[in-house]
A and B are shown apart, each in its own frame.
Chain A
Amino acid sequence: MKAFRALSRTKLYWGLLIICLIGALASPHSSSGMNIFLSYGNLTDVLRQVSITGLVATGMTMVILLGGIDLSVGSVMGFSTIICAMLLTKSGWTAASIMGVPAATAVSFFAVAFLARFVFSGLARGRDDSAGRRREIALGPWRSMRIPALLGFVAAAAVAWFTVSQVPTKFGVLGVLLVTPCVALLLGSLNGLLIVAGRLQPFIATLAMMVSALGIGRLTAGQDHAVVAVYTGTNATEAFEVLRSMLWGVVPMPSVFFLAAIVLFGAILRFTTFGRYAYAIGGNVEAAKLSGIKVAQVQFTAYLLSGLLAGIAGVLFVAQYRQGKPDAGAGLELDAIAAVVIGGTSLMGGRGGLSGTFVGVLIFGLLSDILQLQNIDSNVQLVMKGLIIVCTVLVQEQNLGQLVARWRFRSSPEAGAEVRSVEPNRPLSAPRAQFAREDLDEAS
């Protein structure tokens, strides 16, 4: 029974293993007799292909853990591809740089100020935690924010100088990697603001953002260029190629971002108070609020991070497909949600985690890879995807042990005898209660 429970707990990983086995067995062989599915190139390709969905799914996991949902990630990602592609290919003050430079400046100010404040309060608390608590009350928010704000100004000035200096020429890799996620982060934080301060339902707020971000993307790109092509070496810097190369010839660059995000945010969920609060809020908002947790702060942060990760995914998309287009992320949000759900995170919030999402994303990627190797029609692939979602969630949600117990019970001989019904002609010795059926008749 113990072994069975262990099996049930790790069923997701077994699912991944089974898919790998199927892939290996069904895979065609190359002329030299090598198994194509298991070849290094194929596996790294899968990892590369899932990276964009994976990054978005990482942010989505945190939002869903809080009991929310972020439908806007696809559009925000598409918008970021436009920003990124335009920065790379167009010099001077274009719509992208007009938005990007202030965004990066503002975000770097807040990010550095917040980080500094965080570190200072940690240092102060380190000396004596009760005194640390008292200090927080004693110092008003403005006095304790002075030095962090100063540091923030310094950082903002540096970023502003750096980005403005890139505007006349075209943006480099570093510039793009800095500016694009900042713009997406601002859109994510707008989501958060609508939900936290405006008290909108997450579904509604992010739906509005999903629609409008697509519009903003098209407006930014201009009517006639729905697609901004990026030819590295011709109309953009050669260095941008680095984002589609292999890191040290081993791991594809996009996957490095994806794996780093999984590890970083997995650690945040596991080891920090933020993670604990996220689970607590997802599990029971009311109890969390009454436990002194700043629910609004945590929710806001989650949507902000979801936007940030969508922005990074946008840059990787441009590197991968050599173009930016407003509808680059059409349907991406649903893929991400599907991956999160397959990974065992409950849409009600409070249950699940990033390791599951990682596996969920991989299952999706491996499946489409297997089907492609078999030359199966892409429309059939969509149907298979749907089936996989239903099957995995069925297995995830139902406790396997319960399923087996029910089956065992049904097949046992005495079970059938239990269901007897009351004798229909029992004597009515007790007087009926006065309020009986005749009430109905009387009323009519």
Chain B
Amino acid sequence: MREMADPQGASPMETRSDVPGRREARPDATAVGVGGRIRRGTKSDPVVLAAEHVSKSFAGVTALRDVDFDLRRGEVHALMGENGAGKSTLMKILAGVHTRYEGVIQLEGHPASFGGVRDAEGAGVAIIHQELNLVPELSVADNIFLGREPLIAGTLIDGRRIVRAAELLLRRLGVAIDPRSRIAELRIGEQQLVEIAKALSLDARILIMDEPTSALSSSECETLFKIVWQLADDGVAIIYTSHRIEEVLELADRVTVLRDGRRVLTAPIGELSRGAIISAMVGREMAANHRGTAAKNGAVILTVRDLTLDTLSSRGWRRALHGVNFQLQQGEILGIGGLLGSGRTEILESIFGVARGWRGGEIAIDGCVVDIESSADACRLGVALVTEDRKERGLHLAESICNNVALPSIGAMSRFGLRAFARESALADDVVRRLSVRCAGIYQVVSTLSGGNQQKIVIGKWLATEPRILLLDEPTRGIDVGAKQEIYELIFKLAEQGLGIVVVTSEMPELLLLSDQVLVMCEGHQTGLLQRGIATQETVMRLAAPGMATHSWDTPS
């Protein structure tokens, strides 16, 4: 189970002691393990991969500065840092993606320089990128052996052998995936496991995982962690990055923190606390967020009654939402929790008028039942949706901040269809200032901003339309700790200004921190609507777990 730490930062020992399962297998951070197995990552284990004085710069911008890094056999070594700290650069150098750098890479004590990813794979170093590299229309087995298919008589692909080999690999990973199924049919978590199987089929002894859990639900994370531990016990050395500190505390043996391209910390996990890692990452102690007194004033701004959604998939009609009910007051934050695919995003899309399929039930804004058919209707009624996938669905990456921010508003600002350039740039200036976006100016291209600042632009472009209801889907996914805090503060501020806010999030601490009410979804059913104070990690987890869908548990509101 993924560990859900108190956002205010619990002490490290408390944090680690709640973790079931893990401790039995590896009872103590200092002792010799059960069954004669030596704890991973001790000084006695040989270093399999090391970087010495590695520096790298891109077009004059230094990404890494004199970084030392070492990876021991059988350890899980977490690499942490804010976005832009140089994590990906270091990983890519180790995996042979970047072939030009200063410094030395030692592979098992011998200097090595990979000419490319193929070289690195040949030497037993495999990387699993955050964006998965799978061909959606091919089968699981075909993907695992893509480019290395065993052949019959040197020409024909030996399909049976591929499937059987893939089956064995997957069985050893302990996952029940049919190797004949197409990748497109799998959930994202299962696809991740296929990537791992692919890396193993390459005979990888060093596995580099770039944010493997960013798209996974809690139960999928759990499966992944078990596999990671199993691999480590088998002697595979693993480099692991994640933005989720709780996850790293649970999973890793050692942590290296990078900041601004420099290594600031390498230590065994037992010597670290959540707070220590965060302060090493951001270079300062984070002030804990506290929700101010609820600003809700009782005026109901959004009512959702018996909301249903039927979607048409290749297997016929499927009910994605089974009757969702809630009320949102001005200045209130409603959090929607649940596993991935439980229908959380569909609620937001239905309200915003962009859900694919047939919608049933009633949506009322300010007490008037409205019929929102498109995003244009939603805009006019003062509803804004900040989508989960900001790069694909939220931003025009190749365009300037000004163009992105103004896009939803230019219709309202124009007269006779003529654009009001001065008002557009004033709007962008205003958003950049209000949200303290770090940029060179409003004409900077959005793709060059960091993840957190891009997220601010997406939120900002909707704030510029002066919405009264703000729908946020995973507003802090893939952004670093410092930017997360800023986003939280912004959400609180907006609530105080009287906006009604609905937040979907996979991160439990975030859900509990932000929400006045928590709506829990499970497999398309609303399994609970909990007031602040009643909602705890345990209750939310219990309601979100599949198998509970038959009864619902509402607190009187």
- Give chain B's interface residue range (CB within 8 Å of chain A): 35 or more
B375, A292: Cβ atoms closer than 8 Å:
yes
B64: min CB distance to chain A, Å: 16
**A224 within 8 Å of B (CB atoms):** no
Task: Given A129-B413, A280-B407, verify A292-B378 contact (CB < 8 Å).
Answer: yes
**B449 within 8 Å of A (CB atoms):** no
A286: min CB distance to chain B, Å: 5
Flag B387-399 by CB within 8 Å of A: 1 or 0 each.
1000011111111
B122, B204, B407 interface centre (most CB from chain A within 10 Å):
B407
A221: min CB distance to chain B, Å: 39
Q: Bound state CA distance, A81 and B308, in angstroms?
A: 54
**A3 within 8 Å of B (CB atoms):** no
Residues of A within 8 A of B393 (CB): 284, 286-287, 290
A352: min CB distance to chain B, Å: 12
Task: Given A286-B392, A419-B99, A421-B119, verify A430-B48 contact (CB < 8 Å).
Answer: yes
Residue of A nearest to B383 (CB): A292
Q: Bound state CA distance, A294 and B410, in angstroms?
A: 13
Residues of A within 8 A of B115 (CB): 419-421
**B271 within 8 Å of A (CB atoms):** no
Flag B347-381 by CB within 8 Å of A: 1 or 0 each.
00000101000000000000000000011101111
Q: Bound state CA distance, A433 and B172, in angstroms?
A: 12
Residues of A within 8 A of B231 (CB): 433
**B161 within 8 Å of A (CB atoms):** yes
**B235 within 8 Å of A (CB atoms):** yes
- Given A126, A350, A431, which contacts B398 in the complex, CB threshold below 8 Å? A350
- Given A283, A432, A444, which contacts B205 in the complex, CB threshold below 8 Å? A432
Residues of A within 8 A of B354 (CB): 289-290
**A13 within 8 Å of B (CB atoms):** no
Residues of B within 8 A of A420 (CB): 113, 115
Flag A289-305 by CB within 8 Å of B: 1 or 0 each.
11111100000000000
Task: Given A350-B398, A444-B150, verify A126-B234 contact (CB < 8 Å).
Answer: no
A274, B417: Cβ atoms closer than 8 Å:
yes
Residues of B within 8 A of A125 (CB): 415
B412, A133: Cβ atoms closer than 8 Å:
yes
Residue of B nearest to A282 (CB): B396
A224: min CB distance to chain B, Å: 48
A439, B407: Cβ atoms closer than 8 Å:
no
B99, A418: Cβ atoms closer than 8 Å:
yes
Residues of A within 8 A of B203 (CB): 432-433, 436-437
**B416 within 8 Å of A (CB atoms):** yes
A293, B376: Cβ atoms closer than 8 Å:
yes
Q: Pick out which of these stretches binds chain A: B162-170, B211-219, B282-290, B479-487.
A: B162-170
Task: Given A136-B380, A430-B108, A443-B161, verify A291-B397 contact (CB < 8 Å).
Answer: no
A273, B112: Cβ atoms closer than 8 Å:
no
Residue of A nearest to B99 (CB): A418
Residues of B within 8 A of A404 (CB): none
Q: Bound state CA distance, A421 and B107, in angstroms?
A: 12
Residues of B within 8 A of A122 (CB): 415-417
Residue of B nearest to A122 (CB): B416
A126, B415: Cβ atoms closer than 8 Å:
yes
**B61 within 8 Å of A (CB atoms):** no
Task: Given A122-B417, A292-B408, verify A443-B164 contact (CB < 8 Å).
Answer: yes
Residues of A within 8 A of B167 (CB): 443
**A118 within 8 Å of B (CB atoms):** yes
Q: Bound state CA distance, A193 and B231, in angstroms?
A: 56
A430, B205: Cβ atoms closer than 8 Å:
yes
**B522 within 8 Å of A (CB atoms):** no
**A225 within 8 Å of B (CB atoms):** no
**B414 within 8 Å of A (CB atoms):** yes
Binding site for A on B (CB under 8 A): 46, 48, 73, 99-100, 107-110, 112-115, 119, 122-123, 150, 158, 161, 164-165, 167-169, 172-173, 197, 200-201, 203-205, 231, 234-237, 352, 354, 374-376, 378-381, 385, 387, 392-399, 403, 407-408, 410-419, 461, 465
12 contacts between A and B (CB under 8 A): A273-B417, A284-B392, A290-B387, A291-B461, A292-B378, A292-B465, A293-B407, A430-B237, A433-B204, A433-B234, A433-B235, A442-B165
